[in-house]
Every structure is written in structure tokens, then in C-alpha cells.
A and B are shown apart, each in its own frame.
Chain A
């Protein structure tokens, strides 16, 4: 199956710093990528949808200035958590959809996730 690689797997940072998480589709072109956040024992909450070459669409309640998403190419999307605070500590997971077949089935391929801990 298609592979999505996420990096880093885990990161610890100090409060007030920014952290960048990368999401790469290794063997397919991802026309659309989705970023999810998951708190312990909770569901995956969609943060934003990003399409290559255009601005990301954020879900209600997600601060776009705090969570910067860039989908610069068909194989790479990045999420930058700016001025991170302890409440931003979470498991961040990206997923990618391959088009055009993926557009019909909606099948998503998930990255391994990135665990962010803000001290």
C-alpha cells in the first residue's frame, strides 16, 4: 500500500518555541492532505485540509495563525506549531489522499504520527 512518512516521531520543546512537523507521501502524489490532532483517549480531531498549491482550510476553532500549514508540493505538507504552549501537547497525525482514484473512494493513508510535548 501507499506510504506516508511523518517526521519527527516525537519532539519535546520549550514553551514559546515553534515546531515543524513534516508529512511526506513516499510513493504517490497526494493532492490532498489532512492534519489531525489526538489527545489521550480521545478521537482524531480534524484540524485542517490542505491542497497542493493553495491555502489550507481550517476547521472551526483551529487557529490558523498558530497552526501554519504549507502544502508546497504533491508529496510534502508541513504543520508548524508556532509559539507552542503546554496545552498544544498532543499527538499530531497527517493523512494523505491520492488522486484521482482516491477522490472516488476517499481512501486515506496515515502517517505514523508525531507526539509533541511542550514543557
Chain B
């Protein structure tokens, strides 16, 4: 039931864009996105509920395609502070537990 993230790792130059995908084999109720720096707890980015919505947060946005059971996280004009491991977490029903993908390691270089 663990969602699958791709790519596993990506290296960017400052100012470049990136897309991280999260796919599920089961119908999703919600998708959560987190960023984790080494040795720290995950930091919440955003939640998307089923309904095909898209959300934005400064230069980070995400979409949720209910039909395809997948979500994508878009990072535009990346900054050095965007470096970290990005996790998507998925739940399959309201009030359900959150299962995390294997993570995508993002490195932004100057």
C-alpha cells in the first residue's frame, strides 16, 4: 500500500524547476506532502483532498489527479533552502492512517 515516488533523487541548479510524482495503486482520499531536512522531523507543505484540486504555496504547488490516483509536487525557481527529502503521504479514507512513500532526495546547488 506504500505509494511510489519518482524520481528517487534529483539534482538541480538554483532557479531550476522540478516535479516529484507520487502514485498509488489504491483510490486515494488525500495526499500530504512533507519536506524533511537531515536529522529533523518532516515539515508540512500541503494537503490535497480528493476532487482533483490544485494547491499553491509560494513557488511550491501540487496537483491531485483522482482518476490516475497520483499527485505531483511542483517546485519552481528552486532555492537552496528547497534541498531535502520530499515525502508524499497518502490516506485511503477519511480519518485513515497516513502511509508515506519512499521519499525523493532533492539537492539544489548554487
Interface residues of A (CB under 8 A from B): 1, 32, 34, 36, 42-46, 49, 93, 95, 103-113, 115
B101 touches A34 (CB 8 A): no
Q: Which residue of chain A lies nearest to B98 when distances are taken between CB atoms in the complex?
A: A108
What CA separation (Å) do A82 and B29 show in the bound complex? 35
What CA separation (Å) do A43 and B39 show in the bound complex? 13
B44 touches A110 (CB 8 A): yes
What CA separation (Å) do A108 and B100 show in the bound complex? 12
Tell me if B64 counts as interface (CB < 8 A to partner A): no
Say yes or no: A34-B98 contact (C-beta < 8 A), given A106-B29, A106-B30, A106-B91. Answer: yes
Q: How many residues of chain B are within 8 Å of chain A by beta carbon?
A: 25
A–B pairs, 27, beta carbons within 8 Å:
A1-B44, A42-B102, A43-B2, A43-B103, A44-B42, A44-B87, A44-B89, A93-B42, A103-B94, A104-B94, A105-B49, A106-B29, A106-B32, A106-B91, A106-B94, A106-B96, A107-B32, A107-B44, A108-B32, A109-B44, A110-B34, A110-B41, A110-B42, A110-B44, A113-B40, A113-B41, A115-B39
What CA separation (Å) do A83 and B39 show in the bound complex? 25
A112 touches B94 (CB 8 A): no
What CA separation (Å) do A32 and B103 show in the bound complex? 24
**Chain B at the A interface: SS class:** loop
**Chain A at the B interface: SS class:** mixed
Say yes or no: A106-B98 contact (C-beta < 8 A), given A43-B87, A43-B103, A44-B87. Answer: yes
Which 3 interchain pairs have the tightest Cβ spacing? A113-B41, A44-B100, A103-B95
Say yes or no: A105-B100 contact (C-beta < 8 A), given A44-B87, A113-B40. Answer: no
Q: How far is the CB of A78 from the nearest CB of chain B, in Å? A: 18
**Cβ of B99: which chain A residues have Cβ within 8 Å of it?**
46
Tell me if B97 counts as interface (CB < 8 A to partner A): yes
